[in-house]
A and B are shown apart, each in its own frame.
Chain A
């Protein structure tokens, strides 16, 4: 039976919520303000919090923030009144799952509670399952289609989240590094489009990319991505089917003489955001490694 914590400073409104939810089997608990709600959360974590916004002591917005921080798997639905629209927007940005205007309770409260519980239930089960995962491997062979690369990066970032290898900031950094590696593999590796035209003739650079995407052998090449992840590290191998290059031949982009040059920054960003970056002898495969920080805390349960 799902448990719902109802938070409102008005007893009549708490009673109203109970009335509209009585058709489903919920275990209901009540709190008169955000502070009391947080005490109740410490005593037992509900499956859902339904809260008013304007309350004394700790208001609904602060409660949303606290829940997001301390109980990230517990969704919060806001009960809103006229005049609270701006606060609602803030609360949604802070992580509230949904909102129901009080005047719409008859039509929407029960369905909103059911929907949010269904989504959060699936997420909670998934999270519990991922906590049991020790390591994972996967391999992709992508066609030369830049539209596929973002979904791949998102997928790989989610796996690092599942294994809690790193925090959100590091996931963003991994995303930047992977993007650089994959863009290099696509444009410089498979399509063999060098950086010389960039900055000199951008239209020509663009035209050459389009031409090569439609010309053999370039268009038939693939980008191979293999990853191995555990709770301690994430390793990504990105390999293209081009002729390779010598990474040591790239100019140092931080040298003032090279600041206006087009090349080398991608490798700089990879090296900055990953713990290790190593190319194979041919220069057509790069291994990127990110390790769990020694001081990293585990995700809250």
Chain B
């Protein structure tokens, strides 16, 4: 399998941290769609209960990343898990707000805060 080009992942206990490596252009849709099945498969592992999306390196993003985040949230929610987002830029917060995703996913200032939030 080729090295993922869009997302980095790290597992901390029962939480998978997903971090885009940079701004996720909607035009990187082909790459996102190529990596998304692998990400969703990781969520099927029994020890993974929650997701933290770290947007530190993605100062902006579009509908394709929102779609990927939504797909991951759908999977984790079906298993009773939680999702939180962290390190969001001002434009990113605006994007999450207009799409109403900030009503579903806590927007945290740091990765550590997000990890604590999903475990509450």
Contacts and interface: CB of A to CB of B under 8 A. Distances in A.
A283 interface: no
Contacts of A187: 29
A146 interface: yes
**Binding site secondary structure of chain A:** helix
Interface in A254-294: 254, 256, 259-260, 262, 265-266, 268-269, 272
B25 A179 contact: yes
B36 interface: yes
Contacts of A146: 27, 30
A198 interface: yes
Given A172-B91, A253-B99, A203 B63 contact: no
Interface residues of B, number: 29
B62 interface: yes
B98 interface: yes
Contact of A175 (B36, B37, B60): B60
Contact of A180 (B34, B63, B73): B63
A154 B95 CA distance: 20
A202 interface: yes
Given A176-B95, A272-B98, A266 B70 contact: no
B26 interface: yes
B45 interface: no
**Binding site secondary structure of chain B:** helix
Interface in A232-248: none
A234 to B, nearest CB: 18
A206 B63 contact: no
Contacts of A203: 33-34, 37
Contacts of A253: 99-100
B99 A179 contact: no
A41 to B, nearest CB: 30
A209 B30 CA distance: 8
Given A169-B91, A172-B91, A180 B26 contact: yes
Contacts of B63: 180, 183, 265-266, 268-269
29 contacts: A172-B59, A172-B60, A173-B91, A176-B91, A182-B27, A183-B27, A183-B62, A186-B27, A202-B34, A202-B37, A203-B33, A205-B33, A206-B30, A254-B98, A254-B99, A256-B100, A259-B70, A259-B101, A260-B70, A260-B71, A260-B73, A262-B67, A262-B70, A265-B63, A266-B63, A269-B63, A269-B95, A269-B98, A272-B94
Interface of A: 146, 149-150, 169, 172-173, 175-176, 179-180, 182-183, 186-187, 198-199, 202-203, 205-206, 209-210, 253-254, 256, 259-260, 262, 265-266, 268-269, 272
Given A203-B33, A266-B26, 12 more contacts: A179-B27, A179-B62, A180-B62, A202-B33, A203-B34, A206-B33, A254-B98, A254-B100, A259-B70, A260-B74, A262-B67, A265-B62
